[in-house]
Each structure stands twice: as structure tokens, then as C-alpha cells.
């Protein structure tokens, strides 16, 4: 199906989305919002919903939002593409990397 | 029309926090602490335990703020533990990589680093291998269950198996002691008696960067414990291929500028060095080779192991040799070919550059944990990466989630030009000066300049104390903790008999107007453009090569930006306001740096600065450069290297002033 996006929006900040949420797990407790040293997220105006990642370009990628999240797997730090690196399986020589990790 | 303004006008979404620009909160306390990181948290706890009424302000969230906010994997400089091989008085005389770091604060850190660690244990931090996970490992003392790192023989650095929780543990202790804590309050000025510059400090003002509420603090004593200024020469997060300059965005140099404007004395403010230009963060994926990843095995693209050598060129035959002293060596503390010979650790072979260029070793290199001893692999890809700040989630968990297995996978290192291999760190050298390019400089990871403090850790103004990173020459977590404790003991002692003076309402009103002017504007520059403009001035006029004419031009530029663009910068909400205030602070730091650099009429090899008009190296000058504001004039001065060495005896001065 053709999505045909045509939003009246500025270009996305880079890195785009430093932390991503699994909406089915996040309870909107905003603990991640409150432990963030940079106030990168703002509480969702809709109660119980995941925070809005408003200032992703100010993120220090410390990971406190993930460390202190009370729900396992509700959020994830999205390692920026320009900081990803490969690894090699010694026995086979196969190359791996951290791939696309946006949550559904 | 600027698009953000257009969107803001069209959208019904409101700022999620209650806006309170017209609200004011006032507090009264014995000890006001500005910056709730490691130094501030230790200071707060120490002062509260001694009965003081304590208030802490932090522009971040105290539970996770500061350089150690998300953890720390090792605690160095431990020389007073049972079995420590070298007494503080011996260590203080060891050669240093930093010839511009005053000895007294270093001595305080050496004396109290271990005590601070035990204090953390008392509050619930796991500092020992209690569950015998590493029983029999060469880095473990089976009696105390302490696990040492890097130098397994002289044992002055302790791995912290619970280090990730360090700030959480301190925060909980602060709560238990009833310490009043304000998160998201950005301190904007120090208040002085009768609003006079150079007079006694009587409090501070701040603004909440979520609500815009204004704070007026009245205090008998104030302890500055913010971070040192970072991101001055480079800021953007988007810049460099494998990352941009990525220091803690909150570190603008607040404490230094607050003190400067109040008239306090600073020193060595031009101390900076050629930078890694931002490859430091991904460094934490594959490197930080001088500590967290040390002494990992490195192989080349074909799996050929890169040999290690000790300071004398003797090849390390076994893995254990990488953690052992050279023949006749007493202690080792820092890696890399540029560290003092006496303290130099084994590193990767010194001629690696030539051997890469000749084709003997092929890029890229890999960290190969598969062939490391089992306990070494587990302690690295577990205790160390799991507790060091910015590695637990960004590195360890990210890799684990993506399927990385340290028992069978090798993690690739950055591909860097061969000349950066092993110059400053054991292997690929992401902190190596020069990678960032010319004129990209840095204050991180070295003993930066900063506030002048006496043996009481008092600044040159009455009622003002300082601890941690923004004190001249203080760097690292154990030093932050030690100086925080020590400064607080002295501040409390002073507060016992000190009179409390009222704040000047005129000074408060002036400051409130200054701060809120940025949100009372309809349009103007955004903070980022001004910050990036400032970075360019620092690159061009305060770079690797300087002269009077160049630096005076830099000062002209900074002043012009302050009067024009900064004076027309708009903040669209309290969060934005905090960022504008950071830029204002960094701009002031730039001015202070240029003034300090102008006062130094010689080149400095240790700082990597060439004065084209004074090419002779003066690192052996024997004094520190100082500067402060007297009225509206800048006063520069000198303090001899032995200024704090009372009778040549550090211990005597320590005992006299430590308040224990």
C-alpha cells in the first residue's frame, strides 16, 4: 500500500531517536524521564503512554533510562548508526553488527 | 517565519510541566551545594552527618547526575588500604604526567580515596567479590575479596562489582539523611554580601529548567561541585563519521563561571590539550583501552596476535605479564608511551605503526576475548563493562541483545591511521591527540585548570568552598569523592561560627531579569547556532597556535557575540533556557581561557600550545598562572609550584586542616 507521507515537518534531529519504546510494555511511569540528566524526553500528554523523545540530539547515551526502567524490555537505547561496529565469529569468519533496532 | 514558531502557533500541544516564571522559592541553609555529582553527594552526606542543614542543587537528576552517574568500574589511587605497598607520602612524590596539578588536592585524594570507597560500602555499594565468583583469580585478594585492576602487584586500583549503582546508593543515603535536593535547578549566580564582587558569598540564585521557577538560596557556606567545562571547541552530535565530540552536555563549567563572576581566583584556565575530536564515545564500544578494556588481547584482521611489551621493551610472554611490573619498577599507573617511565604500564609494541605500514599486521584489529583466561574474560565482559559509566547499556547490553558472544566473537576496533596506535593507550588509541584535527582541543580526561583552593578547600572568597573536577588539577572519581568529604568538613567547621548575612535584593532582581530575558523574547537566535559560533571562535583563536593578535581578535569576537547574538537569543521554554544559560557559561569560559592564555608569555609543550610570539617552552617555569576579577578589571598573577607545600610536608598540612 502506498503510504505517501507528506507531513509539514522539519528534518529529523540526529541521532533520530536515542531511546525507543515498546508501546505494549511501557506503562508511562516516566521514571526514564526523571532519571535522564539531559531531560531528553517529555512526559506524554496522554497519561500512561510512553514519553515523547523531544531532544534526541542532546542525549549523552548514558543508558540510565534503560537501566532504571522498571519494566523489562519496555525501552531500548538505540545505538546511533555512526557509532556501530562489527564483530567477527572466530570459528567461521562471519561478520555481524548491531542492526536496525527500532521497536515495533 | 521560523518553522518552530509556526508549528508552536498551530499546534494545541502545551509544555507538559507547569510554567512558573513568576514563582519564587527561597531556602535558608548552612551548606549549599551546587552540583550533586560524586563530589557534591559526598559533600552533602558529610555535612549532613555533622549536623548541618544542607541543600543540593543540580541541573540534572541527582540520582544519576555527574560523570559517575551511570557507574564506575574501578576506583584508583588507593594507597591506604591494608596491604597497600606505597604510603601516600611516597606516592605524592612520584612523577606525574601533569606538571600543572597542585599537590595538596592530590594528597587529599590519596589520603581519603580508600575511606570514601569504604563509606560507599557502608551505604550498600558492592565493592567486593562476595559470592566468590572470581575465587583464585590473579587479580583477587582472597582474604578481603577485593578485586584489583591493571597493576596486580602494587594493588592500588580496585574493581567495583556494584559500581553501576554508585549514584543510586549515594542518593538513597542523602534521602535517609533528610538532605533537601532540587533536581533541574540550574544555578545562575552566586550572591555576595552587599552585592560586592570579591565579598563573602552568602547564597545563590537558580532557575528550574522544567518550570522556569526562580530560586533564591541563602547560605552560610556554599560548596561548588559542578563539572569542568566541556564541548568548547566542538559541540554538534552529528559531526564526525564515527561520532562527534560527545562529552556530557551538562558540563559547561558552571562552577568556574559562577565563582569568576563573584570575584574568585582561578588558575591554569588555559590548560587544554589537543583532542581526540569525538572518537571517545564509540571508543567505549571497543576501547577505553587504558582502563575498562585493559589488558584485552588484540589481534589483526588475520587473527594474528599483537604482542605487548613493558616499558623496557621486554615482550610480555604471557597474558599475566601485561599486569606485572617491569624489573625494578615500584608501581604502574598509566599506559602509553607518553606517561612517565616510572609509572608506565605494559602496552602494545611501540613500533606497531611501522609494522602496520610494512604489512606485517593488517587492519582492522579486533578485541579477542576468546583466548583470554576465563576469569579475565568474565571480569572484563561483565564486571568492568557492566559497571563503567556509559558501557553497561550502550555497550554490554547492546552487544548482548545483538547476539555478541565473548567466548566466540571478536569485537572490531575503530579503523584509525597507524600513527595513533599505542601512543597514549595500550592499543588503538582513541584518546590520542590529533585525531580530531588541528585546533580541536579538549579539557576532558586531564587535570584541567579551575578554582584555586587552599588547604581547607576554600576558594579565595569567604564562605565559598569547592570540590571535584572544577578545582584546578582535580580529576577522577576517587578525587571527587575525597575532596567532597574534605571540603564539606571544612565548610561545616566554618559554618559553626559564621554569621548569616541577608542576600541583596537588588542582586537577586538583576539576576532574575537577566535570566528570564531569554524567555521574554518573541524571536531570535537558537542556542545551538550561538554555541557552534562560539566553538569556531575557540578553534580559530584559541587553538594549537596562538599569538597576542590572534587571541585579542578572539576576545573581540566573543564579546561581540555576547552583545549581539547572545543578547538576541530566544528560549522557547525552560528547557531551552537551560541550554542558553550553558552557552552563556561556555562563552564566559572562552573569555577566561583567552585572558589566561594571553597572560602566559611562553609556549607549553605539555599543553601542546605554541605561542608564535613567544616560541620558547616554559613548562619548567615553576609557577601557576592565576586570574580573577577585581571590580571590572582582570587581575593576573602567579603562584609558585610549592605554594601549598607547607614546610615541605604534605602530611603535616593535611593533619592540620582535614577536620578529622
Read off the pLDDT of residues B521-566 as tens digits, 9 standing for 90 and up.
988 999 999 999 999 999 999 999 999 999 999 999 999 999 999 9
Task: Confirm if B593 and B634 have CB atoms less than 8 A apart.
Answer: no
The DSSP bridge partners found for residue B629 are B634
Size (chain B), residues: 660
In terms of C-beta density within 10 A (0-12 exposed, 13-18 middle, 19 or more buried), how is residue B361 classed? buried
Three-state secondary structure call for residue B416? coil
The per-residue b/e assignment along A6-31, b for 16 or more CB within 10 angstroms, e otherwise, is eeeeeeebebeebbbbeeeebebebb
ipTM of the complex: 0.95
Helical residues (DSSP H) of B177-298, grouped into ranges: 254-262, 280-286
CB < 8 Å to B366, chain A: 87-88
CB < 8 Å to B5, chain A: none
**CA B150, chain centre distance (Å):** 21
Rounded Cα gap, residues B225 and B237, in angstroms = 26
Three-state secondary structure call for residue B629? strand
Q: Of all residues in chain B, what percent carry a pLDDT higher than 70?
A: 95
pLDDT tops 70 at residue B388: yes
Rounded Cα gap, residues B365 and B428, in angstroms = 8
- Bridging pattern class, strands A41-42 and A86-89: unpaired
Q: Do A88 and B412 touch (CB under 8 A)?
A: yes
In terms of C-beta density within 10 A (0-12 exposed, 13-18 middle, 19 or more buried), how is residue B490 classed? buried
Task: Confirm if B491 and B42 have CB atoms less than 8 A apart.
Answer: no
pTM over 0.95? The answer is: yes
Rounded Cα gap, residues B405 and A96, in angstroms = 11
Range of lowest pLDDT (A73-77, B101-105, B109-113, B442-446): B442-446
The model's confidence at residue B280, banded by pLDDT at 50, 70 and 90, is: low
Residue among B341, B338, B362, B360 nearest B422 (CA): B338
**C-alpha torsion A39→A43→A48→A49, nearest 10:** -90
Rounded Cα gap, residues B630 and A100, in angstroms = 56
pLDDT of residue B443: 84
CB < 8 Å to A90, chain B: 303, 368, 370, 408-410
pLDDT of residue B123: 98
Q: Which of B5, B36, B64 to mutate to test the interface with A (most CBs of A within 10 A)?
A: B64
Q: How far is CA B157 from CA B73, B77, B312, B387, in A?
A: 10, 6, 23, 15
Here the cell at position B124 is 550498600
pLDDT of residue A101: 64
Give the DSSP per-residue string, B555-611.
HHHHHHHHHTTGGGB--SSHHHHHHHHHHHHHHHHHHHHHHHHHH--SBBTTTTBEE
Query: What is the rounded average pLDDT of the residues B236-252?
Result: 71
**DSSP single-letter state for residue B139:** T
**C-alpha torsion B611→B98→B644→B88, nearest 10:** -170
Q: Do A67 and B393 touch (CB under 8 A)?
A: yes
pLDDT of residue B419: 83
Rounded Cα gap, residues B77 and B476, in angstroms = 10
Q: Do A64 and B64 touch (CB under 8 A)?
A: yes
pLDDT tops 70 at residue B374: yes
Residue recorded with cell 569542568 = B228
pLDDT of residue B278: 61
Q: Which of B243, B247, B249 to mutate to test the interface with A (most CBs of A within 10 A)?
A: B249
Residue in B with minimal Cα distance to A19: B394
The model's confidence at residue B101, banded by pLDDT at 50, 70 and 90, is: confident
Q: Do B243 and A87 touch (CB under 8 A)?
A: no
Residue in B with minimal Cα distance to A33: B61
Here the cell at position B204 is 545563590
Fold type of domain A19-97 = Alpha-Beta Plaits (3.30.70)
CB atoms within 10 A of CB B368: 22
CB < 8 Å to A98, chain B: 398-399, 402
Q: Which residues, other chains included, contact B75 with Cβ-Cβ below 8 Å and sequence gap of 6+?
A: B113, B117, B127, B157, B158, B160, B477, B478
Backbone phi, psi, residue B488, to 5°: -65, -40
User: pLDDT averaged over chain A?
Assistant: 91
Three-state secondary structure call for residue B217? strand
Q: What are the pLDDT digits (tens) for B213-222?
A: 999 999 999 9
Q: What are the pLDDT digits (tens) for A59-68?
A: 988 999 999 9
Range of lowest pLDDT (B28-37, B271-280, B575-584): B271-280
pLDDT of residue B291: 82
pLDDT tops 60 at residue A104: no
Considering CB atoms only, which of B3, B209, B397 is closest to A39?
Answer: B209
Query: What is the rounded average pLDDT of the residues B316-342?
Result: 88
Using H for helix, E for strand and C for coil, what is the string for B1-44?
CCHHHHHHHHCCCCCCCCCCCCCEEEEEEEEEEECCCHHHHHHH
**CA B301, chain centre distance (Å):** 35
Q: Do B241 and A66 touch (CB under 8 A)?
A: no
Min Cα distance A58 → chain B (Å) is: 7
Query: What is the rounded average pLDDT of the residues B611-639?
Result: 96
pLDDT of residue B646: 74
pLDDT of residue A102: 62
- Bridging pattern class, strands A19-21 and A75-77: antiparallel
pLDDT tops 90 at residue B390: no
Q: Of all residues in chain A, what percent carry a pLDDT higher than 90?
A: 66
The per-residue b/e assignment along B164-189, b for 16 or more CB within 10 angstroms, e otherwise, is bbbbbbbbebbeeeebebbbbbbbbb
Here the cell at position B596 is 589566561
Three-state secondary structure call for residue B624? strand
The model's confidence at residue B247, banded by pLDDT at 50, 70 and 90, is: confident
Q: Do A82 and B184 touch (CB under 8 A)?
A: no
Residue in A with minimal Cα distance to B60: A37
Q: Which of B19, B70, B186, B226 to mutate to test the interface with A (most CBs of A within 10 A)?
A: B70
pLDDT of residue B234: 85
Q: CA triplet B260, B266, B271: central angle to 5 degrees?
A: 120
Q: Do A34 and B61 touch (CB under 8 A)?
A: yes
Q: Of all residues in chain B, what percent carry a pLDDT higher than 90?
A: 76
Three-state secondary structure call for residue B342? helix
Considering CB atoms only, which of A39, A62, A98 is closest to B402?
Answer: A98
| Cβ pairs A/B, distance under 8 A | 132
Q: Do B210 and A68 touch (CB under 8 A)?
A: no
Q: From start to end of B193-336, where are the E strands?
A: 201-208, 214-224, 266-267, 273-274, 298-299, 308-309
User: pLDDT averaged over chain B?
Assistant: 92
CB < 8 Å to A45, chain B: 13-14, 16
The model's confidence at residue B436, banded by pLDDT at 50, 70 and 90, is: confident
The model's confidence at residue B240, banded by pLDDT at 50, 70 and 90, is: low
pLDDT of residue A103: 61
pLDDT of residue B554: 98
First to last CA, chain B: 63
The DSSP bridge partners found for residue B176 are none
pLDDT tops 90 at residue B426: no
Considering CB atoms only, which of B209, B282, B303 is closest to A85?
Answer: B282
Q: What are the pLDDT digits (tens) for B472-517?
A: 999 999 999 999 999 999 999 999 999 999 999 999 999 999 999 9
Considering CB atoms only, which of B183, B241, B402 is closest to A82?
Answer: B241
Q: What are the pLDDT digits (tens) for A15-46?
A: 888 999 999 999 999 999 999 999 999 999 99
Whether omega for the bond prior to residue B209 falls within 30 degrees of 0, making it cis, is: no
CB atoms within 10 A of CB B36: 32
CB atoms within 10 A of CB B6: 11
Helical residues (DSSP H) of chain A, grouped into ranges: 31-35, 64-67
pLDDT of residue B334: 74
Here the cell at position B127 is 565493592
pLDDT of residue B363: 92
pLDDT of residue A73: 93
- Bridging pattern class, strands B266-267 and B450-451: antiparallel
Domains and CATH numbers, chain B: 280-420 (no CATH), 510-638 (1.20.58.100)
Rounded Cα gap, residues B412 and B395, in angstroms = 13
Considering CB atoms only, which of A36, A63, A86 is closest to B61?
Answer: A36
The model's confidence at residue B287, banded by pLDDT at 50, 70 and 90, is: low
Query: What is the rounded average pLDDT of the residues B169-197?
Result: 98
CB < 8 Å to B413, chain A: 85
Rounded Cα gap, residues B258 and B582, in angstroms = 12
Q: Do A39 and B303 touch (CB under 8 A)?
A: no
Task: Confirm if B475 and B481 have CB atoms less than 8 A apart.
Answer: no
CB atoms within 10 A of CB B548: 14
Q: How far is CA B348 from CA B300, B306, B337, B417, B424, in A?
A: 12, 7, 10, 16, 11
Considering CB atoms only, which of B394, B408, B578 is closest to A63?
Answer: B394
Angle of helix B166-176 relative to helix B103-122, nearest 10 degrees, comes to 80
Spell out which chain A residues touch chain B, with contact meaning CB-CB distance below 8 angstroms: 10, 14-15, 34-39, 42-43, 45, 55, 57-64, 66-68, 76-77, 79-80, 82-91, 96-99, 101
3-state helix, strand, coil in chain A (%, to 5): 15, 15, 70
Amino acid at each position: 500500500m502506498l503510504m505517501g507521507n507528506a507531513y509539514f515537518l522539519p528534518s529529523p534531529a540526529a541521532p533520530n531517536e536515542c531511546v525507543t519504546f515498546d508501546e505494549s510494555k511501557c506503562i508511562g511511569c516516566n521514571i526514564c524521564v526523571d532519571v535522564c540528566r539531559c531531560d531528553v524526553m517529555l512526559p506524554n500528554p496522554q497519561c500512561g503512554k510512553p514519553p515523547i523523545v523531544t531532544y534526541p540530539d542532546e542525549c549523552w547515551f548514558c543508558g540510565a533510562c534503560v537501566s532504571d526502567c522498571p519494566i523489562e524490555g519496555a525501552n531500548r537505547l538505540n545505538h546511533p548508526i555512526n557509532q556501530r561496529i562489527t564483530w567477527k565469529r572466530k570459528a567461521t569468519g562471519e561478520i555481524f553488527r548491531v542492526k536496525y533496532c527500532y521497536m515495533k | 517565519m521560523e518553522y518552530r514558531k509556526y508549528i508552536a502557533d498551530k499546534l494545541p500541544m502545551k509544555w507538559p510541566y507547569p510554567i512558573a516564571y513568576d514563582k519564587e522559592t527561597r531556602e535558608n541553609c548552612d551548606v549549599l551545594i551546587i552540583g550533586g555529582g560524586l563530589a557534591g553527594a559526598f559533600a552533602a552526606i558529610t555535612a549532613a552527618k555533622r549536623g548541618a542543614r544542607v541543600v543540593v542543587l543540580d541541573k540534572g537528576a541527582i540520582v544519576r547526575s555527574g560523570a559517575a552517574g551511570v557507574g564506575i568500574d574501578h576506583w584508583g589511587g588507593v594507597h591506604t588500604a591494608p596491604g597497600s605497598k606505597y604510603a601516600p607520602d611516597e606516592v605524592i612524590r612520584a612523577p606525574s604526567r601533569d606538571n600543572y596539578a597542585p599537590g595538596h588536592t592530590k594528597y587529599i585524594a590519596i589520603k581519603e580515596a580508600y575511606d570514601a570507597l569504604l563509606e560507599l560500602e557502608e551505604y550498600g555499594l558492592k565493592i567486593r567479590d562476595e559470592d566468590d565468583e572470581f575465587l583464585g583469580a590473579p587479580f583477587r585478594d582472597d582474604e578481603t575479596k577485593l578485586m584489583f585492576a591493571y597493576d596486580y602487584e602494587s594493588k592500588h586500583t580496585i574493581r567495583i562489582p556494584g559500581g553501576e549503582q554508585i549514584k543510586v546508593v549515594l542518593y538513597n543515603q542523602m534521602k535517609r539523611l533528610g538532605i533537601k535536593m532540587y533536581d533541574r535547578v540550574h544555578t545562575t549566580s552566586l550572591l555576595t554580601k552587599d552585592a560586592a564582587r570579591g565579598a563573602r558569598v552568602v547564597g545563590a540564585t537558580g532557575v528550574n529548567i522544567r518550570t522556569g521557577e526562580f530560586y533564591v538560596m541563602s547560605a552560610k557556606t556554599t560548596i561548588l561541585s559542578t563539572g569542568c567545562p566541556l564541548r568548547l571547541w566542538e559541540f554538534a552530535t552529528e559531526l564526525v563519521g564515527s561520532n562527534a565530540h560527545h562529552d556530557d552536555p551538562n558540563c559547561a563549567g558552571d562552577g568556574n563561571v559562577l565563582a569568576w563572576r563573584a570575584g574568585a581566583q582561578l588558575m591554569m584556565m588555559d590548560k587544554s590539550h589537543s583532542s581526540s575530536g569525538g572518537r571517545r564515545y564509540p571508543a567505549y564500544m571497543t576501547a577505553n583501552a587504558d582502563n575498562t578494556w585493559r589488558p584485552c588481547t588484540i589481534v589483526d584482521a588475520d587473527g594474528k596476535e599483537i604482542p605487548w611489551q613493558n616499558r623496557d621493551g621486554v615482550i610480555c610472554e604471557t597474558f599475566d605479564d601485561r599486569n606485572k611490573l617491569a624489573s625494578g619498577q615500584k608501581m604502574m599507573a598509566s599506559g602509553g608511551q607518553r606517561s612517565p617511565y616510572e609509572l608506565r604500564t605494559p602496552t602494545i609494541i611501540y613500533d606497531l605503526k611501522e609494522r602496520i605500514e610494512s604489512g606485517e599486521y593488517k587492519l582492522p584489529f579486533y578485541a579477542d576475548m576468546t583466548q583470554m583466561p576465563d576469569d579475565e574474560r568474565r571480569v572484563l565482559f561483565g564486571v568492568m563493562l557492566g559497571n563503567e559509566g556509559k558501557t553497561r547499556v550502550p555497550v554490554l547490553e547492546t552487544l548482548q541483545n545483538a547476539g555478541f558472544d565473548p567466548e566466540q566473537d571478536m569485537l572490531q576496533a575503530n579503523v584509525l591511521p597507524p600513527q595513533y596506535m599505542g601512543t597514549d593507550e595500550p592499543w588503538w588509541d582513541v584518546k590520542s591527540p590529533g585525531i580530531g584535527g588541528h585546533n580541536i582541543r579538549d579539557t576532558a580526561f586531564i587535570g584541567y585548570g579551575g578554582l584555586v583552593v587552599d588547604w581547607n578547600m576554600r576558594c579565595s572568597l569567604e564562605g565559598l568552598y569547592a570540590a571535584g573536577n572544577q578545582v584546578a588539577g582535580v580529576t577522577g572519581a576517587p578525587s571527587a569523592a575525597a575532596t567532597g568529604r574534605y571540603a564539606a568538613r571544612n565548610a561545616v567547621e566554618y559554618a559553626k561560627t559564621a554569621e548569616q548575612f541577608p542576600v541583596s535584593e537588588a542582586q537577586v532582581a538583576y539576576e532574575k531579569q537577566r535570566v528570564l530575558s531569554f524567555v521574554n523574547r518573541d524571536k531570535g537566535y537558537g542556542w545551538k547556532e550561538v554555541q557552534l559560533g562560539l566553538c569556531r571562535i575557540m578553534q580559530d583563536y584559541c587553538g594549537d597556535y596562538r599569538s597576542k593578535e590572534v587571541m585579542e581578535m578572539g576576545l573581540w569576537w566573543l564579546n561581540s557575540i555576547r552583545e549581539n547574538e547572545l543578547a538576541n537569543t530566544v528560549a522557547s521554554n525552560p528547557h531551552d533556557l537551560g541550554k542558553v544559560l550553558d552557552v552563556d557559561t561556555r562563552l564566559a569560559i572562552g573569555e577566561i581561557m583567552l585572558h589566561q592564555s594571553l597572560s602566559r608569555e611562553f609556549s607549553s609543550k605539555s599543553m601542546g600550545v605554541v605561542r608564535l610570539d613567544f616560541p620558547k617552552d616554559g613548562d619548567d617555569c615553576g609557577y601557576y598562572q592565576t586570574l580573577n576579577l577585581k571590580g571590572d578589571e582582570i587581575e593576573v598573577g602567579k603562584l609558585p609550584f610549592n605554594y601549598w607545600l607547607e614546610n615541605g610536608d604534605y602530611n603535616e598540612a593535611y593533619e592540620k586542616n582535614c577536620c578529622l
